């Protein structure tokens, strides 16, 4: 269930209440006349099944409440109420499958903003992965996966395409490209320093690497893995039952390839640099395609449920 808290101008409150009453899956409606001070107006609160949340929020935006008042939504972790249970049963679909598009746009907006923290995380992840590819150490690759933040901008691009939000697309693409460019440039310098201290060597990079050799050898299988990773990451972002580690796993197809390209460049290994860069671009493309198609499929699925989200006039 979601809890909605609305600030509505007094002349819009009746419309808002009627909209909530008409929406299947709503309950616990509370109206506090004149309770809001900034902006002035009434406070309207209700609980709504997650499956019906997106439709209700869109309806409230259609009434202009986001412009003349406020719409706030938060997840309810515990609700002991027979009415809430009935509201969830009445709403079509399953809560775990529902997509709250406004919430998704807000989440991807935050995760896809180019910031010092974002650049620091992706740079650290690439440097850790550089150690992993040189030493052919799977543990370090997993460590880089845990640190890499690049799925945020990738998800932002997918969301922007589906929602036709050019500003989000530009912001996400900027964070992704600039982030990787800075990370790879710093990692080249890091590789030089490690080489001077005798920790990195061209021999290690060129030697047998059964655990990490895949990062500079793009093939059809690489694209398949990227597509599967993109689907899994997108579902983890939109699902109410997502696991945090699902999105983390996306890094396995991106950060190691970027790290290998940077280290190979520091040694002047053109073949591995080009191969790793191709692997990186192929994986990024696969994730974006898969993520976009996944969101389109979810949007189409829930479009078929809209007719069931409005109560009959005589109810």
CATH, residue 131: 1.20.1080
293 shares a domain with 181: yes
188 shares a domain with 76: no
77 shares a domain with 134: no
314 belongs to a structural domain? no
Average pLDDT over residues 283-288: 92
**Contact (CB, 8 A) for 265 and 188:** yes
Distance separating alpha carbons of residues 35 and 81, to the nearest angstrom: 26
76 shares a domain with 222: no
145 shares a domain with 81: no
283 shares a domain with 188: yes
21 backbone dihedrals φ, ψ, rounded to 5°:
-60, -35
266 shares a domain with 117: yes
Distances (CA, A) of 268 to 191, 193, 201, 244, 264: 12, 15, 12, 38, 6
Which residue spans within the chain are E strands per DSSP? Answer: 2-8, 26-37, 40-48, 70-75
**Contact (CB, 8 A) for 28 and 46:** yes
**Contact (CB, 8 A) for 108 and 172:** yes
**Contact (CB, 8 A) for 190 and 127:** yes
201 shares a domain with 255: yes
Q: What are the pLDDT digits (tens) for 66-93?
A: 999 999 999 888 889 999 999 988 888 7
Out of 86-100, 248-262, 268-282, the most confident range is: 268-282
pLDDT at 210 (0 to 100): 87
253 shares a domain with 170: yes
pLDDT at 246 over 70: no
pLDDT at 237 (0 to 100): 80
62 shares a domain with 204: no
107 belongs to a structural domain? yes
131 shares a domain with 65: no
312 belongs to a structural domain? no
100 pLDDT band, cuts 50/70/90, is confident
pLDDT at 55 (0 to 100): 87
pLDDT at 95 (0 to 100): 73
pLDDT at 83 (0 to 100): 93
User: What does the block give as tokens for 13?
Assistant: 């409150």
Instruction: Decide: residue 67, CB within 10 A, 0-12 exposed, 13-18 middle, 19+ buried.
Output: exposed
Top pLDDT among 310 and 189 is at: 189
Return the residue matching tokens 């990451």. 233
69 belongs to a structural domain? yes
Looking at 97, 122, 151, the residue that finishes a domain is 97
163 belongs to a structural domain? yes
306 belongs to a structural domain? no
Average pLDDT over residues 248-255: 66
267 belongs to a structural domain? yes
**Contact (CB, 8 A) for 16 and 4:** no
User: Domain of 74: which CATH number?
Assistant: 3.30.70.120
226 backbone dihedrals φ, ψ, rounded to 5°:
-65, -40
- Domain extent, residue 41, equals 2-97
**Contact (CB, 8 A) for 17 and 29:** yes
Looking at 97, 132, 154, the residue that finishes a domain is 97
Domain count, the chain: 2
28 belongs to a structural domain? yes
Instruction: Decide: residue 113, CB within 10 A, 0-12 exposed, 13-18 middle, 19+ buried.
Output: middle
Best CA proximity match to 275, nearest among 290, 263, 287, 286: 263
Looking at 72, 97, 122, the residue that finishes a domain is 97
Best CA proximity match to 255, nearest among 231, 226, 234, 232: 226
Q: What angle do CA 301, 283, 242 make, to 5 degrees?
A: 45
User: What does the block give as tokens for 82?
Assistant: 């027979």
Of the listed ranges 9-13, 87-91, 184-188, the one predicted with least confidence: 87-91
Instruction: Write down the pTM of the prediction.
Output: 0.81
272 shares a domain with 253: yes
């Amino acid at each position: 269930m979601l809890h909605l808290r609305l600030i509505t101008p007094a002349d819009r409150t009746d419309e808002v209440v009627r909209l909530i009453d008409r929406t299947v899956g709503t309950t616990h409606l509370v109206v506090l006349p004149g309770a809001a001070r900034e902006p002035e107006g009434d406070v309207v609160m209700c609980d709504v099944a997650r499956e019906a949340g997106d439709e209700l929020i869109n309806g409230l935006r259609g009434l202009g409440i986001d412009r003349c008042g406020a719409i706030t939504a938060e997840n309810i972790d515990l609700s002991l109420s027979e009415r809430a249970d009935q509201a969830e049963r009445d709403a079509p679909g399953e809560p775990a499958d529902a997509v709250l598009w406004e919430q998704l746009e807000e989440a991807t907006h935050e995760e896809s903003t180019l910031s010092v923290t974002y650049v620091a995380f992706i740079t650290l992840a690439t440097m850790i992965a550089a150690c992993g590819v040189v030493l052919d150490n799977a543990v370090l690759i997993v460590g880089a996966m845990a640190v890499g933040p690049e799925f945020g901008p990738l998800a932002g691009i997918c969301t922007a395409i589906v929602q036709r939000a050019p500003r989000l697309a530009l912001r996400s693409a900027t964070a992704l490209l600039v982030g990787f460019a800075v990370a790879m440039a710093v990692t080249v310098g890091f590789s030089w320093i490690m080489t001077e201290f005798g920790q990195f060597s061209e021999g290690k990079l060129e030697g047998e690497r059964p655990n990490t050799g895949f990062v500079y050898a793009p093939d059809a299988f690489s694209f398949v893995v990227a597509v599967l990773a993109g689907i899994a990451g997108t579902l983890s972002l939109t699902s109410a039952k997502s696991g945090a580690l699902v999105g983390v796993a996306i890094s396995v197809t991106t950060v190691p390839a970027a790290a290998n390209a940077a280290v190979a460049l520091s040694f002047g290994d053109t073949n591995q640099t080009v191969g790793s860069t191709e692997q990186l671009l192929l994986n990024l493309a696969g994730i974006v395609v898969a993520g976009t198609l996944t969101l389109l499929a979810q949007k189409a699925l829930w479009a078929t449920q809209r007719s069931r989200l409005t109560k009959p006039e005589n109810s």
